[in-house]
Amino acid sequence: MKQFNDENFLLQTPTAERLYHEYAEKMPIIDYHCHLIPEYVASNHRFENLSKIWLEGDHYKWRAMRTNGVDERFCTGKDTTDWEKFEKWAETVPYTMRNPLYHWTHLELKTAFGVDKLLNPSTAKEIYDHCTEMLQKPEYYARGLMQHYNVETVCTTDDPVDSLEHHIKVKNDGFAVKMLPTWRPDKAMAVENPAEFRAYMDKLAEVSGVEIKHFADVIAALKKRHDFFEEVGCRLSDHGIEEFYAEDYTPAEIESIFDKVYGGKELTAEEIAKFKTAMMVEFAIMDHDSGWTQQFHYGAIRNNNSRMMKQLGPDTGFDSIGDFTVAKKMSKFLDMLASKDKLGKTIIYNLNPRDNELVATMLGNFQDGRYGAGKIQFGSGWWFLDQKDGMEKQMNALSCLGLLSRFVGMLTDSRSFLSYPRHEYFRRTLCNLIGNDVENGLLPASEIDFIGKEIVSKVCYGNAKEYFKF
């Protein structure tokens, strides 16, 4: 019987063990999409206790706790202590078996703090006190943890109006880990609420120094911010969308729609779709001309629970997988850019696993050797899919319908400085998948060195290094 969470965790064959330990384990981490708080890196934040670094803002854990019957006050409440929240999490952990949270929890405890014990009510206080004590040491401050996990580069997620002062400070400090911004301009195309859109335009005008009266002014202001982001080291954009937008439009239509919403009037569904299409095209052209990579995370239905949305706000654990029909619009949007020769490097992440083969086949329509290998990428298993089963399904679809060997690999998509073992989790899953194929005669054992060097190590690190050129 294999042991839980030992050195060969998730590795089911000798070949998988060899691939992981010889080719994957020691690779540096390029975490090209995350939600770390840049201020924490800039200030080298010290976490007061294990709850502060582990539970605050973690909607994955909150969803599990609620499902386990834990009252909301122990998830997001202000009248409970950090220890009380942790105690409820420890009560929940044994019931998360077969949920990826069980694996992540024990990987993080082991790799960060050297804790091999299972977390449950009887071990909770010992583990909490031990980890909290370690967190007071400088090597467990924010920067120390990044270096502990051999992180080379992280890309945060930032609004065009952000000052990026924390990124600039980290660079000026000469910190060994690169922290680069990522351009996330979702609010600039959020015309569903005219008042909020106008308020955002006012902020954009202020930080860009461009007076905004017409649609062309919006693009000019955003271009100035885009240039500023590039100066600070940005090489990626990211867009969180329910579905792709690909409506036909004319410049006159977009100017008229902008005038209407900027004046405070509600738009029709058709007008909203046309405006979002125009904005996505403009963003994509900026990215192409700057040599950036654009990312599209699509398919989430957000804020489903209106009562809890009013109480807690967004990103608190009330989102789910959507079932949008996207193939035609995705194809048309990409072609709108390709027809102008303005389609740059692109990564597409789906949230519904039924779209795996759809995305994997869409990539091949727009690959272009002028950009090097794998210009259009199938993003790693995202959000609800960033677990063993989801990652295997994504890699199997990519393997069958594209080139797994050119995949840029894993990211944390996390706000936590303890989430880097997700890269280890992915690497172990990758090595197990390929190792099983070798053991079963589906891949030649004679090519194990090529597989290790040219596929495993590059999917874990080398492809991202070459693709993003940070």
Compute how many other C-beta atoms are within 10 angstroms of the C-beta atom of residue 365.
Answer: 12
> What pLDDT, in 10s, does the model give residues 122-152?
999 999 999 999 999 999 999 999 999 999 9
Separation CA 427–CA 457 (nearest Å) = 9
Region of residue 2 (phi > 0: left; psi between -120 and 50: alpha; otherwise: beta): beta
pLDDT at position 456 is 98
3-state secondary structure of 270: helix
For 176, residues 6+ apart whose C-beta sits below 8 A from its C-beta are 147
Q: Tokens 């220890």 map to which residue?
A: 83
pLDDT at position 207 is 98
For 265, residues 6+ apart whose C-beta sits below 8 A from its C-beta are 194
Please check whether residue 209 is in contact with residue 264, taking contact to mean a CB–CB distance below 8 angstroms.
no
How many angstroms from the chain centroid is the CA of residue 308? 24
Q: Tokens 């649609």 map to which residue?
A: 215
pLDDT at position 438 is 98
3-state secondary structure of 100: helix
Q: Tokens 């299409």 map to which residue?
A: 277
Percent over 70 (pLDDT), the chain: 100
Element (H, E) at 30: strand 29-31
pLDDT at position 204 is 98
Please check whether residue 249 is in contact with residue 267, taking contact to mean a CB–CB distance below 8 angstroms.
no
Eight-state DSSP code of residue 184: -
Mean pLDDT throughout 330-338?
98
Radius of gyration in angstroms for the set of CA atoms belonging to the chain, rounded to a whole number: 23
Question: Per the structure block, which two tokens stand in for 243?
Answer: 């579905």
> What pLDDT, in 10s, does the model give residues 248-270?
999 999 999 999 999 999 999 99
Separation CA 108–CA 422 (nearest Å) = 9
Separation CA 99–CA 67 (nearest Å) = 12
Strands (E), 156-292: 178-180, 236-241
Record the pTM: 0.97
For 278, residues 6+ apart whose C-beta sits below 8 A from its C-beta are 249, 254
Q: Any idea what the Cα angle at residue 256 is, between residues 252 and 259, rounded to 5°?
A: 140
pLDDT band at residue 332, thresholds of 50, 70 and 90? very high
- Helices (H) and strands (E) counted in the chain, each on its own, are 21, 9
Q: Tokens 């024990």 map to which residue?
A: 106
Give the type of residue at 336: M
Beta bridge partner(s), residue 347: 295, 377
Is 163 exposed, middle or buried (CB count within 10 Å of its CB: 0-12, 13-18, 19+)? Answer: exposed
> What pLDDT, in 10s, does the model give residues 96-129?
999 999 999 999 999 999 999 999 999 999 999 9
Separation CA 41–CA 362 (nearest Å) = 37
* Cα–Cα distance list, 133 to 88, 114, 128, 138, 177 (Å): 20, 13, 8, 11, 25
Give DSSP secondary structure letters for 330-382: HHHHHHHHHTTT---EEEEEESSGGGHHHHHHHHHTS--GGG-TTSEEEPPP-
Question: Per the structure block, which two tokens stand in for 150?
Answer: 């051999």
How many angstroms from the chain centroid is the CA of residue 53? 18
pLDDT band at residue 59, thresholds of 50, 70 and 90? very high
Separation CA 448–CA 205 (nearest Å) = 56
